[in-house]
Chains A and B, each alone.
Chain A
Amino acid sequence: MDVVAGLAVPLLRENVDTDQIIPAQFLRILTKNGLGRYLFYRWRYDQDGKPTPGFVLNDERFRKATVLLALKNFGIGSSRENAVWALTDYGIKAVIAPSFGDIFYENAVKNGLVCIRIDEKLIQQIGKEAEAGGLTVRINIKEQSLSYGSQSIHYTMEPSVRRRLMSGEDEIENTIKYENKIMAYEQRMKKFYQIDRKRLLYE
């Protein structure tokens, strides 16, 4: 994946925690498919399950949005990867925010959800243009550039994140190549970190 492009939707709130992205009620699942319907569930639907008027994802103009604009600390809180699965299943391909929760950010990379960190003022500016609907944002991961309207800006990204987003590699497959190193550690691992399973029987 080198380029992600799509309609931008402004959700210009700070501290959008993963409980808001997907409530705990919807974590009682055995597979990761089909979670898009629960995305921002409590904001998107009222207590009777009807769409909340005024919530941006219920707005006809943003029905096909794939690039989410948010303010600082997006994805803080719970480690639930379901938050990323809900976003991607809904169709979100990229989130642009000034900062992200650490665990959310890593979960996103693992699922190919592109998270771009840019300055808050710039997000406010893009958000303003996006508000009317119809603004396409294009992210070139390879070039680390983001363009919208007639503007184009450069952003920076961790080299490992960029590489993984572009290659979509199976990370476990990659790690297995380090078998020698893993085994070497296991040979020198402190004995007292092993669990004596027999003790379970005595407890």
Chain B
Amino acid sequence: MGKVYKRFTESVNMATTIIEKIWKEHELAVDDDGRSLIYIDRHLTHEVTSPVAFEDLRIRGRKLRRPDLTVAVMDHNVPTGPREEPIRDELSYKQMQALYKNSEDFGTILLDYYSPFQGIIHIIGPELGLTLPGMTLAAGDSHTSTHGALGALAFGIGTSEVEHVFATQTLWLKKPKTMEIKVSGSFGRGVYSKDLALFLIGQLGTGGGIGHILEYTGETIRSMTPDERMTLCNLSTEAGARSSIISPDDKIFNYVRGRAFAPEEDDFNEAVEYWKTLASDPNATYDKSYSFDVSGLKPMVTWGTNPSMVVPVTGSIPSPDQFEASRRPGIEAALKYMGLTPGQVITDIKVDRVFIGSCTNSRLSDLTIAARVVKGRKVSKSVRAMVVPGSQYVKRNAERKGLHSIFLEAGFEWRNAGCSMCIGMNEDQLLPSERAASTTNRNFENRQGPGGRTHLVSPAMAAAAAIEGHFVDITQWDMPEAI
């Protein structure tokens, strides 16, 4: 007879959201100012935002409260070339060395540069079963919103908060407002989760989600695979939301089953019974609710210097006149930085570089779609294109399926896992005024290298741009259904 896990706070009678259920379950106290002390079940940390936090613990003689719930990984600054080569960048090397020492001194689990399970923090969490429905999770990275796709309540945090979690396994949080994003309709051929996410950011704006946790609901979300949900939740932070979530269902439970650190057998069955109680109640209410229909949604391409500056691939570069007066200086500055002129047709824009990777779009399913687009074709002579799998596990699985051969034969570089050109901390960078089609999450000025120009797109759109040397409408692309 298995153990029946109940929510500590099950007596609440009102219809509530998954956000409130997980919040209440982890709320240890409320202070005089109305902030909640929230227990953090899982803490993921990496080499770039952790060293100052570890050092502060050391200076103050504090311990890491729960090293057994803390997993460290090297992802942000690591080279993506062959692992047997020496690490040339001295500063990156020092940060990696610091994480070795800190993990050893404080006892955390470490997936280092050479681990077969190394990868981007938001890829490996779900992939290894470290991220589970119903848990609270924190990581010193804004794209921590990704983990909500599995039904975890996940928060991106700064280094001082990382230190707070290290020392106490808790965070003080003001209860955010809730925002429901209800999505209906079916994706057309060649239109993906990434396009929905970019469309939503365009609608909400970069600050639309500030102070909120987003919950994605509706038939379209239910039809999406766990990977697709991760892409969507990953990008919530680009609409200003620190966290986002989707009520877990059978698709998620099946995804979790059998993963390295997921519960097994009876434990798993008991967990599922518990997780089933977490879904938002049908009559639950939100501080804000929006509805969108994806029927007719087109592949999206960003044209500016934040992810809300986005148009369909069938569109053209907007004119500053189309915006209200107060926004025009920002629009003009973005166009100037991007080297674009109003009225320019998106499919006429040529690209120099293509990057397929990042915590947004580097899972096996992303690489599979890109490989379908590329199969039997060649990368345009004017383009340098690279694929950086999200983890070494993704890489191995892609190689088992032969995807690497498709990319390599087409002329793509096939590299090792890391954040790579999404953040431009290692040698994978754009040169000044180089233009990239990128499956990443930020088109900020200089993000992918000083003076570089980034257009955010789906993996299929990026792959097609690599072949043609300019953006193309992937919905018109001839590609095999399977490979």
Contacts and interface: CB of A to CB of B under 8 A. Distances in A.
Contacts of B160: 81, 107, 110-111, 171
A24 B168 contact: no
A182 B28 CA distance: 7
A144 interface: no
B41 interface: yes
Interface string B106-143: 00010000001100000000000010101100001110
Contacts of A190: 5, 134, 271, 274
A175 interface: yes
Given A79-B156, A172-B163, A101 B210 contact: yes
A78 to B, nearest CB: 5
B22 to A, nearest CB: 12
B170 A178 contact: yes
Contacts of A37: none
Contacts of B62: 172
**What band does the interface of chain B fall in when counting residues whose beta carbon is under 8 Å from A?**
35 or more
Interface stretch (B47-55, B182-190, B294-302, B467-475): B47-55
Given A172-B167, A181-B37, A77 B444 contact: yes
B159 A158 contact: no
A102 B236 CA distance: 13
B349 interface: no
A181 B37 CA distance: 9
Contact of A30 (B52, B263, B432): B52
B465 to A, nearest CB: 23
B141 A79 contact: yes
B168 A103 contact: no
A79 B49 contact: yes
Nearest to A179: B168
A172 B261 contact: no
B251 interface: no
A77 B447 CA distance: 11
Contacts of B363: none
Interface string B170-199: 101010100000000000000000000000
Interface string A166-184: 0000011001101001101
A106 B242 CA distance: 11
Contacts of B242: 102-103
A182 B169 contact: yes
A50 interface: no
B49 A81 contact: yes
Nearest to A121: B326
Given A99-B207, A102-B210, A17 B444 contact: yes
Contact of A28 (B92, B109, B142, B167): B92
Chain A CB within 10 A, most for which of B26, B142, B447: B142
Contacts of B8: 188
A180 B141 CA distance: 29
Contacts of A182: 28, 39, 65, 168-170
Contacts of B89: 28
A103 B182 CA distance: 25
B312 interface: no
A99 B28 contact: no
Contacts of B479: none
Contact of B261 (A31, A47, A158, A196): A196
A120 B207 CA distance: 14
B31 interface: yes
Contact of A25 (B130, B306, B425): B425
Interface in A84-109: 84, 99-104, 106-107
Nearest to B8: A188
A79 B142 contact: yes
A49 B74 CA distance: 30
A27 B94 CA distance: 12
A60 interface: no
Contact of B306 (A17, A24, A81, A194): A17
Give the 10 A-B residue pairs with the shortest CB-CB distance, closest first: A160-B33, A28-B91, A192-B263, A107-B158, A110-B160, A81-B158, A73-B207, A181-B28, A81-B159, A159-B33
Interface of A: 13-15, 17, 19-20, 23-25, 27-32, 42, 47, 72-73, 76-81, 84, 99-104, 106-107, 110-111, 120, 158-160, 163, 171-172, 175-176, 178, 181-182, 184-186, 188-197, 199-200, 203
5 contacts: A81-B160, A103-B158, A110-B160, A172-B62, A199-B260
